[in-house]
């Protein structure tokens, strides 16, 4: 018997929101909404920046596709509200969303589990005086990366190649987050690997290699140009591809993720060692996005991916 998309009920696609990634979320949400509607789902756009979330309950929505990115969408807050309202949603639950959104907490969890991640220095608001900022390259070496620990889409990130750039890099990152994360720079191949599912049933999709001009995979190149090359198959050896997928699944399960996610990684050129950078629990679904690209290489269309994720919408409370 074939699946009837109408059985999913009234669906809200959460998009937009109030984070710095609002423009990307609107693109993701627009794509998801069109895909679901094309498959016969009773799907409606819903922007939490313009409407009260309680309207989801009052208007009888049966489930939610979260196409929000960044704060108040990917950090456990919306997930918690949906838990309280009893409305199943796509992606990870409250704890995994909150931990994965914070790159420092993610690194601490991975490090405790023996998973490789670049070295880092965390700078709280009271630890960003000039002498402390200028001491960071002595610890991490140069070049290094400075970023806000709770933003995505390459927002507020600087690759620092000299001491003179440090203060400006920290000032920029601090515009988006009170805390600042300084991270060891890994020179090599940039990779990403999506995951679908939960626990033992989670499976890694094909690895994507990202070749950006001069390694500059920034916000503009991610979403508004076609200068970045995405390679699927990745061009890695079979053993390296398998190792990236193994590490990604371990990172995903360690954080308690479910539904879907996408790990960003680096393969160091000097020794072919693989480093985990971060886990995205509400990845992009735009025309340039990586999860749809990888799913397509695995034989799953954009529309089928959206339906699959929506079918697996759930609640943390239903698992206890």
Give the domain extent around 282. 99-116+187-309
Q: How confident is the model at residue 1 (pLDDT cuts 50, 70, 90)?
A: very low
Q: What is the DSSP letter of 7?
A: G
Encoded tokens for 20:
């710095």
pLDDT digits 0-9 by tens, 132-142:
999 999 999 99
Q: What number is the average pLDDT over the span 118-139?
A: 95
Q: What number is the average pLDDT over the span 169-183?
A: 95
Do 222 and 283 have their domain in common? yes
% residues pLDDT > 70 (the chain): 94
> Radius of gyration over alpha carbons of the chain, in Å?
19
Do 21 and 81 have their domain in common? yes
| Contact predicate 213/228, CB 8 Å | yes
Count other C-beta atoms under 10 Å from residue 190's C-beta.
18
Q: How confident is the model at residue 220 (pLDDT cuts 50, 70, 90)?
A: low
Note the pTM of the prediction, 2 decimals.
0.93
Q: Where are the beta strands (DSSP E) in the chain?
A: 10-14, 42-46, 63-66, 120-123, 144-147, 158-160, 180-184, 188-196, 203-204, 208-211, 229-231, 260-268, 274-280
| DSSP reduced 3-state for 295 | helix
Over the chain, what is the mean pLDDT? 93
- Sequence-distant (6+) residues with CB within 8 A of 134 are 163, 166, 167
Residues with a catalytic annotation lie at 21, 153, 223, 262, 264, 278, 280, 284
Task: Please identify which residue in the block is written with the tokens 């759930």.
Answer: 314
- Lowest pLDDT segment from 69-73, 108-112, 153-157: 153-157
Q: 51-56: which pairs have CB atoms within 8 A and are 24 or more residues apart?
A: 53/78, 53/81, 53/82, 53/85, 54/85, 56/12, 56/82, 56/85, 56/87
Task: Please identify which residue in the block is written with the tokens 């993720």.
Answer: 257
Residue 126 has pLDDT above 60, yes or no: yes
Structural domain contains residue 318: no
Res 214: pLDDT: 66
Structural domain contains residue 279: yes
Q: How confident is the model at residue 194 (pLDDT cuts 50, 70, 90)?
A: very high
Res 178: pLDDT: 93
Do 9 and 46 have their domain in common? yes
Residue 249 has pLDDT above 90, yes or no: yes
Do 298 and 254 have their domain in common? yes
* Domain containing residue 154: CATH number: 3.30.1490.20
Encoded tokens for 235:
């061009």
Residue 16 has pLDDT above 50, yes or no: yes
């Amino acid at each position: 018997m074939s699946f009837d998309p109408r059985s999913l009920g009234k669906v809200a696609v959460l998009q937009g929101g109030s984070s710095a990634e609002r423009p990307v979320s609107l693109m993701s949400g627009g794509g998801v909404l069109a895909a679901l509607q094309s498959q016969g789902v009773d799907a409606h756009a819903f922007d939490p920046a313009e409407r009260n979330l309680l309207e989801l309950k009052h208007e009888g929505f049966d489930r939610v596709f979260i196409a929000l990115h960044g704060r108040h969408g990917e950090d456990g807050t919306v997930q918690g509200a949906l838990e309280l309202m009893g409305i199943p949603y796509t992606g990870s639950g409250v704890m995994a969303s909150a931990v994965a959104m914070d790159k420092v907490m993610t690194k601490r969890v991975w490090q405790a589990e023996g998973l490789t991640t670049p070295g880092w220095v965390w700078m709280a608001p009271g630890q960003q005086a000039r002498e402390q900022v200028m001491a960071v390259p002595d610890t991490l070496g140069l070049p290094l990366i400075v970023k806000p620990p709770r933003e995505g889409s390459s927002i507020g990130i600087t690759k620092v190649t000299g001491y003179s750039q440090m203060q400006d890099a920290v000032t920029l990152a601090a515009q988006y987050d009170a805390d600042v994360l300084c991270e060891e720079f890994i020179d090599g191949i940039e990779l990403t690997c999506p995951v679908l599912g939960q626990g033992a049933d989670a499976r890694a999709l094909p690895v994507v290699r990202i070749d950006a001009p001069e390694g500059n995979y920034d916000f503009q190149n991610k979403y508004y140009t076609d200068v970045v090359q995405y390679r699927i198959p990745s061009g890695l050896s079979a053993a390296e591809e398998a190792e990236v997928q193994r590490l990604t699944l371990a990172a995903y399960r360690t954080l308690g993720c479910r539904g879907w996610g996408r790990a960003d990684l680096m393969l160091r050129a000097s020794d072919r060692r693989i480093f985990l950078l971060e886990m995205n629990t509400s990845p992009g679904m735009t025309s340039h996005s990586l999860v749809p690209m990888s799913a397509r290489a695995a034989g799953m269309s954009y529309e089928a991916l959206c339906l699959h994720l929506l079918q697996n919408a759930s609640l943390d409370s239903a698992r206890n």
